[in-house]
C-alpha cells in the first residue's frame, strides 16, 4: 500500500510522510502558500539607500530603499554572475551589482550594463521583482503569483495606528516548521510550561469554530495560585496573574494568527497580538516570527511607559519557553523521520486540517536544477523549489525592541 504525499498522491514513500494520529499527509512537509503578503523585514531595518538581505522559503530576496523612500524587492542574485544583489549599491531608485556594476530597476529589469556597447550581445531580461508594501512598521512582499497581489489584502490591524494603543514589535528566527507555531498558540493547554512566570493557570475551552481558512478558539482563564510575574498583570490590566477570570480568543486566519484577551468586567481587550510565521529555508524547517503586540493604554498618563520594561521582559520569557518547546518538537520530527505525534485535542486536529488545505506541496530542491538562470523570473516558492535557504539578515537571531 502506498502512502499519501503532501499533495495527496501515492508515492510508495515510508510511513514518516503520514501524520501518526490521522493517517493524513505529514503537515511538516506542507509548504506555506506563497499567494499572501508576508512580512520579511522590519521597516527600520531597510535604511535609506541601503540593501537588506532576507528570504522566503529558500528564495533569497534583496530589499532596498531608493532615494524616494520607496522599498523595492528583487531576487537576490545578479543575472550576470549570480553574485548576491544584497551586496550591491543603491543609486537613486536602482540597485547596482557590486561586481560588474550591472544596474537593476525596482521591477528587476536591467537598466544598464556600463561596458556593453550597442550590438555587443543581447543582455538577459533581469531578475524577478516582488510586489512589496510597507505597513505596521513591516516590509511585506508577495512571493506568489504577482497577478494576485493586487487583489489580496494586507491584514487589517486597526489597533496599530490607534492613539489608544502602544505597539511592541517582535522579530526573531525560530528553528521549526511554521505549523508548530500555530499549534502552540492555539493550544492553551500547555500553560504548565509557563508555570514559572504565570503561576498555575487553568484554561477552559469555551468553544471554537472552524472555516475553510480559519480556526477560532475561546478560553476562560482562571488563576489557581502560584508565583506570578508582575509583567503578566500589567499586560492584562490586572487580568492574568490576578484573581480574576479572563477570556482569551485566538484565531488562525491563514496564514496569520491573532490573539486578544478581555479581562473580567472589561468591555474591550487589554491587548491584541498579531503574528506571522515566515518560512526561511526551502525545506521550511525554520521560520521567522514577526509579532505586533498592541496594548491598550490605561487611563493614567505615562503608566504604560513605566510598565513597558516589565511587560517586555515577561513576553520575552514566555516566548523563550515556547521557542524551546517548538524547537524540541522539530528536532524530534527530524530524528524520527516524520510526525509521530499522537494528538488528541480536536481543536488542534482541526487547525492541522486548515493548514494542510491551504498550504502547498514542498518539492525536492533538485526540481529547480533545470531552471535557466538569468533569463526571466524565478520559480514561485512553494510551487517549485527555490535554492538553499539563508538566514534572513541580522534581525533573524534576536528580538528587535519595538514601541
Q: For residues 226-254, give the mean pLDDT.
A: 71
Angle at 102 between CA 100 and CA 103, to 5 degrees: 145
| Global confidence as pTM | 0.84
For residue 389, pLDDT beyond 90: no
Which residue, among 380, 389, 384, 383, has the nearest Cα to 369 in the 3D structure?
384
Poorest-confidence range of 19-28, 132-141, 160-169? 19-28
Which is more confidently placed, 50 or 5?
Answer: 50
What per-residue confidence (pLDDT) applies to 225? 65
For residue 346, pLDDT beyond 80: yes
What per-residue confidence (pLDDT) applies to 244? 61
Mean residue pLDDT across the chain: 83
Query: Which residue pairs from 148-154 have beta carbons closer than 8 angstroms and sit at least 24 positions apart in sequence?
Result: 148/35, 149/37, 152/35, 152/36, 152/37, 153/37, 154/37
* DSSP track, 327-342: HHHHHHHHHHTS----
Q: Tens of pLDDT along 73-126? A: 999 999 999 999 999 999 999 999 998 999 999 999 999 998 887 777 777 889
The C-alpha cell at 120 is 555587443
What per-residue confidence (pLDDT) applies to 3? 34
Q: Tens of pLDDT along 175-230? A: 999 999 999 999 999 988 888 888 778 889 999 999 999 999 999 988 776 555 66
Distance CA 393, CA 43 (A): 13
* DSSP track, 139-160: EEE--S-HHHHTTSPPPP-TTT
Neighbours of 205 (CB within 10 A): 15
Q: Tens of pLDDT along 266-300? A: 788 989 999 999 999 999 999 999 999 999 998 88
**Bond prior to 255 in cis (omega within 30° of 0):** yes
Distance CA 308, CA 177 (A): 31
What per-residue confidence (pLDDT) applies to 233? 67
Return the residue matching grid coordinates 523595492: 72
Q: Tens of pLDDT along 112-150? A: 998 887 777 777 889 999 999 999 999 999 999 999 999
| Gyration radius (Cα) of the chain, Å | 23
The C-alpha cell at 271 is 491587548
pLDDT cut 90: percent of the chain above it? 62
How would you list the strands of the sheet with 110-112, edge to edge?
89-91, 94-96, 103-104, 110-112
Q: For residues 257-262, give the mean pLDDT.
A: 94
Phi, psi at residue 224, to the nearest 5°?
A: -110, 20
199: left (phi over 0), alpha (psi -120 to 50) or beta: left
Distance CA 53, CA 149 (A): 22
Amino acid at each position: 500500500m502506498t502512502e499519501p504525499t503532501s499533495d495527496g498522491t501515492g508515492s510508495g514513500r515510508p510511513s514518516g510522510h503520514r501524520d501518526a494520529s490521522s493517517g493524513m499527509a505529514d503537515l511538516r512537509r506542507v509548504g506555506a502558500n506563497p499567494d499572501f503578503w508576508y512580512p520579511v523585514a522590519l521597516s527600520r531595518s531597510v535604511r535609506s539607500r541601503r540593501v537588506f538581505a532576507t528570504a522566503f522559503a529558500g528564495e533569497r530576496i534583496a530589499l532596498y530603499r531608493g532615494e524616494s523612500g520607496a522599498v523595492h524587492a528583487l531576487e537576490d542574485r545578479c543575472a550576470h554572475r549570480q553574485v548576491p544583489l544584497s551586496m550591491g549599491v543603491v543609486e537613486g531608485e536602482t540597485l547596482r551589482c557590486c561586481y560588474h556594476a550591472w544596474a537593476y530597476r525596482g521591477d528587476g529589469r536591467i537598466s544598464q550594463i556600463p561596458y556593453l556597447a550597442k550590438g555587443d550581445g543581447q543582455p538577459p531580461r533581469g531578475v524577478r521583482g516582488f510586489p512589496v508594501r510597507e505597513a505596521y512598521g513591516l516590509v511585506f512582499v508577495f512571493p506568489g503569483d504577482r497577478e494576485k497581489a493586487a487583489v489580496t489584502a494586507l491584514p487589517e490591524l486597526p489597533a496599530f495606528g490607534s492613539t489608544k494603543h502602544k505597539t511592541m514589535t517582535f522579530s526573531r528566527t525560530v528553528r521549526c516548521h511554521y505549523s508548530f507555531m500555530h499549534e502552540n498558540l492555539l493550544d492553551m493547554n500547555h500553560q504548565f510550561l509557563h508555570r514559572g512566570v504565570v503561576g498555575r493557570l487553568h484554561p477552559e475551552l469555551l468553544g471554537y469554530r472552524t472555516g475553510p481558512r480559519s480556526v477560532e478558539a475561546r478560553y476562560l482563564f482562571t488563576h489557581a495560585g502560584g508565583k506570578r510575574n508582575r509583567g503578566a498583570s500589567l499586560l492584562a490590566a490586572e487580568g492574568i496573574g490576578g484573581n480574576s477570570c479572563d477570556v482569551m480568543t485566538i484565531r488562525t486566519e491563514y496564514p496569520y494568527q491573532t490573539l486578544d484577551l478581555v479581562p473580567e468586567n472589561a468591555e474591550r481587550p487589554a491587548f491584541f497580538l498579531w503574528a506571522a510565521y515566515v518560512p526561511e529555508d526551502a525545506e521550511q524547517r525554520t521560520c521567522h516570527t514577526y509579532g505586533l503586540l498592541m496594548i491598550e493604554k490605561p487611563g493614567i498618563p505615562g503608566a504604560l511607559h513605566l510598565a513597558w520594561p516589565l511587560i517586555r521582559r515577561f513576553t520575552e520569557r514566555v516566548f523563550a519557553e515556547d521557542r524551546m518547546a517548538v524547537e524540541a518538537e522539530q528536532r524530534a520530527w527530524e530524528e524520527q523521520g516524520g510526525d509521530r505525534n499522537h494528538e488528541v485535542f480536536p481543536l488542534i486536529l482541526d487547525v492541522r486540517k486548515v493548514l494542510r488545505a491551504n498550504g502547498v506541496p514542498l518539492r525536492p530542491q533538485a526540481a529547480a536544477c533545470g531552471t535557466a538562470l538569468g533569463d526571466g523570473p524565478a520559480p514561485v516558492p512553494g510551487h517549485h523549489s527555490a535554492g538553499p535557504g539563508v538566514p534572513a539578515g541580522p534581525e533573524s537571531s534576536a528580538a528587535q525592541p519595538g514601541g
